[in-house]
């Protein structure tokens, strides 16, 4: 797999001729070898159709294609980076949290309403993630950014996990997510515990949580 962690905030990718990586535009820190960076106007895979889809979905983070033969270091904004290896599963992540990913992964856009209907859309609004999210499927690795490090929590059918929507980073596997509210009279009179909304993840997979309630 091409990504190796240099330290908690810098990730190194080894790239060989014929391989391709996508990364957030401007996230390259240093490189050695013959590597070329091309701004990817389409913002990823899928040609014009995929591009329009992402524009409409507001998941169009400027990407660049990295090709050639050498090693490249990536980092952005001093955020902690977590390398997530995928072997056939699907990773759901916000486009602006995605630092770099293997060109072999299939990139897609998912409408939140597909999971949880109306509540799924409310969920997107509450978490500030919008109505769409990016999916990556296949075999390969992705580097995901988070504020203050990432905690990976396993979810099994017996033990669902509840996550603060602001601390949610990404998830993978066969997970259903649902926005649950615990709003009571205390929230109505402005004396809430600050935990009025939670994401409930059920199924089997992994959820990634950051050590902070800040958005990137």
Q: What are the C-alpha distances in Å from 75 to residues 11, 27, 134, 144? A: 7, 6, 20, 10
6 contacts other proteins (rule: CB under 8 A): no
Residue closer to other proteins by CB (options 19, 212) is: 212
Tell me how far, at minimum, the Cβ of 191 lies from other proteins, in Å: 5
Choose the stretch contacting other proteins; rule: CB under 8 A; options: 31-39, 42-50, 53-61, 161-169.
161-169
Residue closer to other proteins by CB (options 66, 207) is: 207
Q: What residues between 92 and 151 interact with other proteins by CB under 8 A? A: 147-149, 151
Of 32, 49, 159, 188, the one binding other proteins by CB under 8 A: 159
CA angle 85, 61, 10 (to 5 degrees): 45
Spatial CA neighbour of 212 closest among 80, 107, 57 = 80
Q: Find out whether 134 and 109 touch, Cβ atoms under 8 Å.
A: yes
Tell me how far, at minimum, the Cβ of 202 lies from other proteins, in Å: 11
Choose the stretch contacting other proteins; rule: CB under 8 A; options: 99-107, 126-134, 136-144, 158-166.
158-166
Of 141, 143, 167, 179, the one binding other proteins by CB under 8 A: 167
Choose the stretch contacting other proteins; rule: CB under 8 A; options: 42-50, 112-120, 121-129, 202-210.
202-210
Q: 187 in helix, strand or coil? A: helix
CA angle 190, 196, 198 (to 5 degrees): 165
Of 40, 153, 178, 180, the one binding other proteins by CB under 8 A: 153
- Between CA 121 and CA 124 the distance in angstroms is 5
Distance of CA 97 to the CA centre of its chain: 5
CA angle 122, 98, 109 (to 5 degrees): 50
Q: What residues between 168 and 197 interact with other proteins by CB under 8 A? A: 182, 186, 191-195
Q: Is 64 exposed, middle or buried (0-12, 13-18, 19+ CB in 10 A)?
A: buried
Q: What residues between 52 and 91 interact with other proteins by CB under 8 A? A: none
Of 14, 110, 164, 178, the one binding other proteins by CB under 8 A: 164
Tell me how far, at minimum, the Cβ of 73 lies from other proteins, in Å: 22
Half-sphere exposure of residue 5: CA atoms within 13 angstroms, side-chain side? 13
Question: In the complex, which residues of this chain contact other proteins (CB under 8 A)?
Answer: 147-149, 151, 153, 159-164, 167, 182, 186, 191-195, 207, 209-214
């Amino acid at each position: 797999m091409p990504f190796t962690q240099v330290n908690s905030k810098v990730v190194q990718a080894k790239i060989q001729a014929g391989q391709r990586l996508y990364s957030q535009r401007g996230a390259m820190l240093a490189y050695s070898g013959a590597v070329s960076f091309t701004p990817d106007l389409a913002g990823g895979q899928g040609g014009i159709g995929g591009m329009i889809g992402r524009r409409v979905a507001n998941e169009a983070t400027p990407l660049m294609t990295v090709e050639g033969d050498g090693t490249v270091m990536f980092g952005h904004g001093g955020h902690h980076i977590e390398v997530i290896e995928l072997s056939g599963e699907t990773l759901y992540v916000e486009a602006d949290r995605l630092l770099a990913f293997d060109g072999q992964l299939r990139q897609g856009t998912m409408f939140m309403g597909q999971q949880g209907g109306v509540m799924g859309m409310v969920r997107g609004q509450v978490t500030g993630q919008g109505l769409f999210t990016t999916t990556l499927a296949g075999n390969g690795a992705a580097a995901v950014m988070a504020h203050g490090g990432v905690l990976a929590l396993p979810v099994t059918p017996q033990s669902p996990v509840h996550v603060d929507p602001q601390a949610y980073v990404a998830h993978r596997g066969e997970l259903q997510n649902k926005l649950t509210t615990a709003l009571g009279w205390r929230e109505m009179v402005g004396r809430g515990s600050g935990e009025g909304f939670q994401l409930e993840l059920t199924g089997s997979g992994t959820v990634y949580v950051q050590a902070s309630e800040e958005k990137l």
